[in-house]
Chains A and B, each alone.
Chain A
């Protein structure tokens, strides 16, 4: 196995999940492309890890790798996924199925299509309880109504008998949360859970997740484009670019002292990169000049070099290693010191 890149793990507490040197590849017709390259991180109980980065940088692939729900063309090529003392990579599918939905749950972006249109929402919640907790149909139905109450759906007993099309987008996402948290999972992979919802609903959903996290101690991997969401909800943040983790730190540290020009760009405070980089009101990812390089033509050196205002000749030649730039703050950039300097 390739040597795993460093990760900053708070001491003493065993993590719920430790991802080590994860590499996920896509097998296309004529070649194999890496979608996730040597990504490592760890997450403790009750902690929220924000994962940010532009579209296509491998956030969803990372989450799907952990849940082992990758599409048929993708596969985990290297690395370990240590969960509960076991490596999920190579865990036989039947064992993995007992983990999915019980210990590791997922919420997806599309609340309109993530629920089965022809099954009642009560059934869709009850199903996980029958599967993993071994409740009977009756018990599971009653428990499902309780779960609906937990996610603050009014008139849960009546709603349980309704179908997804009878619910609003926000309500459906609450149902998804009820399904995901039904078995008190240790890890929740939330892939852009609020992107499709409008702002007030977003806030309610995040509040609900935070509340449930508090009471259940669930570790959450929160994938999002929304830096405002990260600032308010995450404890730690990792920034991904072209399949790699390029920076990781505590949330306040990252916002205060970004060491990677890409993060700086995301934060929209980098004058060298042009005029379009004004920080947007709600802290959405601001525009960075140029676009993510396609996986087919990753540059030999730093993948960000073609768009980077700090790039030097070295950057184009060699991939920068992930190093601790400040206490508990790692980044992959040859010129982190210059980036930090530019801040002051």
Chain B
């Protein structure tokens, strides 16, 4: 418990820094929400009117004052108002969470289910054809950008094959099977790169573990190769992979930005892109805060899982 509190406290500067950086970067972009809106509506709003709007939203105040106000409100649970959507930010963000979470978690779990066994197998059967295939796939997976994988899926599976929808997202509470169908392609696109990273990590970790003295002890006990790998190597070998799993959650979000655009999924990643383009400061801030908190939380969970898997951690 003490450990959890310590980790939460350690996360505060991370969250603070990210918000400062994003806040400053956004203000460095040319234009503000008012100019963007005026440009889009093509109305000939007078400069006086625009200035008045800016004043109304507080965009004419010094940046540090704006930041201070944002922090003050965010701490009391108020994420602000989306100028572009004319809605409170939370109402804009909330419906976007489910698609991103559903697709991201599916990709994450798929990656674990594929890469751990594949990594273990290729480590034990080094230089077998599965190993070569796995290495090749990992290299391709690591080298292929999301938009290419996604584009290929859309072309071959959705358009030529007509098997799955190429875009959109349906909530599982509305239509469960349709929801599954809309999840598959973006999740596969995301998971491909993740599998590449995790399989390589799992393979090297298993290969290293299999050389250790206690593996020889396990064999000397008369255990079969399966028991040696699953009972004695696995728990030790997945420890480094677990760490990577937490870190990779961040890259899942950056992947979501691309896949949600490619597959037209109304998720958090897509929202971020739109909000940046429309200079919707409050939404950008909220989305980044949301992502940062998710990653911090995931890494906290990973640390707890690590502690459960490795008895050496508990005591220290």
Contacts and interface: CB of A to CB of B under 8 A. Distances in A.
A199 interface: no
A116 interface: yes
Nearest to B219: A69
B211 to A, nearest CB: 9
B214 A115 contact: yes
Interface string B218-234: 11111110000001100
B208 interface: no
Contacts of A213: none
B216 to A, nearest CB: 7
Nearest to A99: B222
Interface of B: 212-214, 216-224, 231-232, 235-236, 309-312, 315
A326 interface: no
Given A97-B223, A131-B222, 8 more contacts: A67-B220, A97-B222, A100-B221, A108-B216, A114-B217, A116-B232, A118-B235, A163-B312
Contacts of B218: 116
A69 B217 contact: no
Contact of B311 (A163, A176, A180): A163
Most B Cβ at <10 Å: residue of A69, A117, A180:
A117
Contacts, number: 71
Interface string A105-118: 11010100111111
Given A163-B311, A165-B311, A166-B315, A116 B214 contact: yes
A45 interface: no
Contact of B214 (A94, A98, A117, A163): A117
Contacts of B311: 117-118, 163, 165
A99 B220 CA distance: 10
A114 B221 contact: no
Interface of A: 67, 69, 94, 97-102, 105-106, 108, 110, 113-119, 127-128, 131-132, 163, 165-166, 176, 179-180
Nearest to B233: A116
Contacts of A117: 214, 236, 310-312
12 contacts: A69-B219, A97-B224, A100-B221, A108-B213, A108-B216, A115-B214, A116-B218, A117-B311, A118-B236, A119-B235, A163-B311, A179-B217
Contacts of A97: 222-224
Contacts of B217: 106, 108, 114-116, 176, 179
Given A165-B311, A165-B312, A119 B232 contact: yes
A135 to B, nearest CB: 14
B220 A131 contact: no
Contacts of B216: 69, 108, 114
Nearest to A94: B224
B214 A114 contact: yes
B223 A110 contact: no
Contacts of B214: 113-117
B220 A106 contact: yes
B312 A100 contact: no
Contacts of B213: 108, 110, 113-114
A180 B220 CA distance: 9
A268 to B, nearest CB: 31
Contacts of B315: 165-166
Q: Which 10 A-B pairs have the closest CB atoms?
A: A101-B222, A100-B222, A101-B221, A113-B213, A106-B220, A163-B311, A116-B214, A97-B222, A114-B213, A118-B235
A163 B315 CA distance: 11
A218 B213 CA distance: 24
B232 A100 contact: no
A309 B219 CA distance: 44
A83 to B, nearest CB: 14
Contacts of A163: 311-312
A128 B235 contact: no
A224 to B, nearest CB: 18
